[in-house]
Chain A
Amino acid sequence: MCLLITLLAAVISTIVWYVNAPKRQLGLGTLSLMYWGAALMWTVDGFFRVAEGEPFLDLSVNDALLGLLIVICGLVAWLLILLYNDPKKVFKTFQFKN
């Protein structure tokens, strides 16, 4: 489930990135590439699990919760990168007001 949820997050973030393109202010490309990277790595992990006789996908509730946590952590990381880069120069305007 974790892989499926991450793949879904990757697809959705890519669509949102494409809809907003060519504007690159929000760094949505970073968010989608993060999810794609993780999804590709878990795909490899899944193939190795199959080779060991385990199922490709773990459909347990525990794994679904992990998937949700992964999506939230990805969003938090992206938000922190966005605030650090401050593409709209929001924090710079604070300096001028003071």
Chain B
Amino acid sequence: MTDGFSPAPSRLAAINCTACGSPLPALAGHRARAMVCSYCGAVMDRHDAYRLLTRYRDMQRPEGPFQIGMTGEILGVEQVIVGIVGVTASIEHEDYHWTNYQLYSPTHGYSWMTWFDGHITHSRKTRDMPETGGNFAYKAPLAAAGRQFQMYEQYVARISYLEGELTWVPALGDRTQVIEAIDPPHGYSVVIGENETEFEFGTYLDRRETLAAFGVADEFPRARTVHAIQPFLPGSFHTALSGAGKLFAPVALVLGLTFLVIGTGKKITETVIVDTDAGGSLVFPLTRADRLAELRLTANVVNAWSWYDMELIHEESEETVAEFDKGLEYYEGYDSDGRWTEGSQTATFRFKPPAAGAYRLTITTGDPKSARLPVRVEVRENVMLSRYLFGLSIFFILCWLSLWFRQSRFEARRWGDDGEDDD
């Protein structure tokens, strides 16, 4: 003989409404106190042979994806939906509506699943009272249930719909004052009723997983709002983008600084062409065909402009490598704000030589109206540009900060600080 216990007796599966006779599923345990008929709105006392207490006709079931009798797993616990309560609250002169589903688990008891604007949350009664005093000011800290919450909002909730099995005897229009604090993905609520004050611990649920757990196809509109306890989940792409930015921004910055220091290259020659009207030229050797070379023109042009036509020829092949022109203009003066300048007395050209060897630069004054000024020509090779790396580092920094920007915007929407109307 084994230990003397027997299988659980079969539970009552359904009752007939004592007011209208409609069959109603009886899914909750013995602590559920009331049954509200889905058909005629009769409220019955489960602890008194389903005695009719009152009746609410013509109630409109609030929108939501779940129905009484559905089962699914929440927070690792198998739950069955046994009741539905519609709630309306007026917050800052705007009406909000949501749907509470009464859940029952034989092992974990009764709790709530809430559908609000496409968000799904779970809340359960907790005995953990606030550990700090009653400072319920906006954004004030509130310690409870081993967590540090932040005060979010207060409102009065009113029951607008009733159906199924519920843990208390409700009345349509019953009001409770609710004080909510948040620590996403969790929330803590103080619910002050007419006769007692209760405390609730909430958890934000993944919508897709929860709907799937209850066998519901996700054909409902996307959430338009950020829920009070919705966690910021940036997604793998934005996380990877930010991670890459964090990794590569310092690399690009260090390389840019390195190029800035050592990238000025080696001076090959420097000469002054006095008479550009006649056409001057200079010949210089370049040893690296795979590195940038740089020509820098400097003329002492003041409140005038001078224009130069240039041709760069590879001596050995006699091929023209580049033809280019450039004007130097520089103006200065004084006005009511003081001294001002405009333009530059220097121009720079960079090119990649097709081959090592000697190159000849010819330079003449182009435009007849140009000032006739001597021009100093400086040639450097092995030049490395740092500005692209600085640009790249800025790009990576923006990638890195993109997550912060997204989270800031998300938090602003959570707290209603974004100045946008959610509707």
Chain A partners chain B: no
Interface set of A (CB-CB < 8 Å, partner B): none
